[in-house]
Chains A and B, each alone.
Chain A
Amino acid sequence: MQSKGYILTVLIITVVTLAVGTVLWHSGTQRLIIDKECDGWCRGAEEPVVIIDAFPDFGCQLCVNKENMIIQALDIYPDEVRLDYHHYPYNDFSYTLAEALECAGEQDKFWELHDKIYLEDVPDDMSELLAAAESVGLDMDLFNESLDSGKFEDKVLAERDQAISDGAQAMSVYINGNLYTGGSSSLDDFYGAINEALEKAGAAGGAQ
């Protein structure tokens, strides 16, 4: 039989712990303030009703699956949905891959390399990355020079820092600023979330 003092101590510590937990829980941002103007890598509708902000990491299978879903959704909603792609590298090689996308962007092949990586196979090392870059028709001399110079390192890091300061969660997807939490297994759920956002935005007159 425990003493009253012991039970009271456990209760007090439990309540204080739960209170601290509640503060932490509330500190997370579930809503992102979206930028209606495209100031980075965007794809899809020119005047979007729904903006999907993606913060993927290449080493995360969940992100790869979600990026796949988004690309499919862009085909289904060509006039309504826009993807705003944000670099949010999380693992070591992901930084190199993010810089590689920027280098491909220099040759107007950002999305070609993006699709090659996300829709086919995420390179695990430099040789796989170079093979992917070559297969999308990049000028490899320019690409290698650009990648070796590290000139996009600061841009990638700045974008990641911006995402953090905006309250974006790594490896996440936001639909009109709302965190999408439907997983990556069901396209129907994803389309459902887009339809819901379309209805809401339509009623309010544009991307919210």
Chain B
Amino acid sequence: MKKIALILQNSYLHLALRLFLGATFIASAVAKLPMQERFIDVVKDYHMLPDFLAYAYGSVLPWLELLLGVYILLGMMIKQSSFTIILIGATFMVANIGAIAKGMEHCGTCFGESFPLSAPAALALDFIIIIAAVVLLVHGHRMQRLSVDEFFKRRAAKVESQTDCSGGN
């Protein structure tokens, strides 16, 4: 148990999870943005949301995916981004469970035409996304390698220590 806890705190694991989440969300957004109209069409066709909400969800999601992908990849606002990714991942899971229940075998719009994904595979990916985001949410306050947050944290600490030193003199 202790070993698992140590692994989950490992900064290299966090970096790998950020790379995975960032790449996944950016790829997903890049696939959806050029065909956003059709993506909205697909969301409507799931019949899980009223039309106006389906339109709003389909319109906002690709942009949110792009921003979150970039934020998490660069290590910016890691906790907030992770939390939002968990929420989005949950909506993906609900949609994919609904798709499987309705006999829709493929997630045609997950990553566009270049990377066809079956609905069960998409569901498994959603699960992995949520787990990865939960790990980052819980340990996001720790040291994050190659991240904007860490860069500014260190810079602030340096300035603070310099101020303390000069104050002490």
Residues of A bordering B, CB below 8 Å: 2-3, 5-6, 9-10, 13-14, 17-18, 20-21, 24-25, 27-30, 57, 59-62, 65, 90-91, 164, 169-172, 179-185
Contacts and interface: CB of A to CB of B under 8 A. Distances in A.
Interface stretch (B4-12, B39-47, B124-132, B138-146): B39-47
Nearest to A26: B34
A24 B30 contact: yes
B148 interface: yes
A30 B41 contact: no
Interface stretch (B13-21, B70-78, B82-90, B161-169): B70-78
B67 to A, nearest CB: 6
Contacts of A181: 37-38, 40-41
A17 B67 contact: yes
A61 B34 contact: no
Interface residues of B, number: 35
A62 B42 contact: yes
Contacts of A164: 113
A183 B45 contact: yes
B106 A90 contact: yes
Nearest to A179: B37
B52 interface: no
